[in-house]
Amino acid sequence: MGNLFFMHGSTKRLFLVSFIFALLAGCATGGYQDPVGSDVAKIRLVSDLSNSTFNYFDAQNCSGKTTGLLNNWMAVDTKRRVDMAVPPPKNAKNYIEIGLRAGHEVMLQANTMSNSGGSVCGIGFALVPQAHAEYEAVFTMNENYCALTVSQLQSFNGKVERVRLPVNRSGLAECAGKSIFFPEKPAND
């Protein structure tokens, strides 16, 4: 048992972090529960980055809820699907689909930690989903920066259109000061 951790330095840390991700993967679908109702919006979260997680925040969940885990070499990808009408992009290897309450502001956060260098990257965006709308967020790496594109999906006569939306990174005003993700805003002088 003494030889279990024969790795050195950053390799040992990376193994430990990956092991923690694997342990948490069992809880990955237990956090966020899709809403029910006739006006539910849907979003697909796409990532080919290693150890990707997607977290959900709203006024009642300022500490966040996990929606799933993708591309972790020690855990099975989360297979969440909500039967979206528009198919995923042709090059999408892995993705998670969730339902969203229409008309209620939410914040979704994409995170990754690389297997090779231990670098961490995360981007959050706020959205007020429209009833019956479908959205897609694609989380990628451009050079040394993580990037996120958000689109509203539309289908006309069998042709799919991805209408890019501005990435709203303003956060959730209702959560200011309620968790480490939303610190209290400083008072205006």
Q: What is the pLDDT of residues 149-187, one digit of tens each?
A: 999 999 888 899 999 999 998 889 999 999 988 888 766
Answer yes or no: is pLDDT of 29 > 50: no
Q: Can you give the pLDDT at residue 78?
A: 82
Residue whose C-alpha is closest to residue 126's, from 57, 186, 52: 57
Residue whose C-alpha is closest to residue 51's, from 81, 33, 27, 74: 74
- Share of residues in the chain with pLDDT > 90 (%): 49
Q: What is the mean pLDDT of residues 51-80?
A: 88
Give 30's pLDDT tier (boundaries 50, 70, 90): very low
Rounded-to-integer distance, Cα 65 and Cα 83, Å: 21
Task: Please give the order of strands across the beta sheet that includes 41-47.
Answer: 95-100, 41-47, 134-142, 145-156, 159-165
Q: What is the mean pLDDT of residues 44-62?
A: 92
Q: Can you give the pLDDT at residue 56?
A: 96
Q: Can you give the pLDDT at residue 144?
A: 77
Rounded-to-integer distance, Cα 70 and Cα 75, Å: 8
pLDDT tens digits, 82-136:
999 999 998 888 899 999 999 999 999 999 876 666 678 899 999 999 999 999 9
Q: Can you give the pLDDT at residue 33?
A: 93
Query: Where are the chain's structural domains?
Result: 31-175
State pTM to two decimals. Answer: 0.79
